[in-house]
Amino acid sequence: MKRIALSHPCDTKDERDGFLPEFDTLCGKYGVRYYVEDEAFLTDLFPLSLNQGKYNVIFFRMRPC
C-alpha cells in the first residue's frame, strides 16, 4: 500500500462517517490508520471540483521504528 491514500470524497460528514465502522475493521486487518478530515483536501493532484466542499478520510501507514 502507498504510505498515504484518500477515501472517495463524500458530500456530507454523515455520509463519510457512515463508513467509519468499516474503516475501523479494514484498518485493523491491514495495519493501517486513518484520519477524518473535515476540511476540503485541495491539492494540485485532483481537480477542485472533485474535493471542494467534500469530506475525506486520509489513510496512512506508519513507518516501522
Report which of residues 2 and 37 the model is more confident about. 37
pTM of whole model > 0.85? no
The per-residue pLDDT for 40 is 81
What are 15-64's pLDDT values in tens digits? 999 999 999 999 999 999 999 999 887 878 778 888 889 999 999 988 76
Buried b (16+ CB within 10 A) or exposed e, 10-44: beeeeebeeeeeebeeebeeeebebeebeeebeee
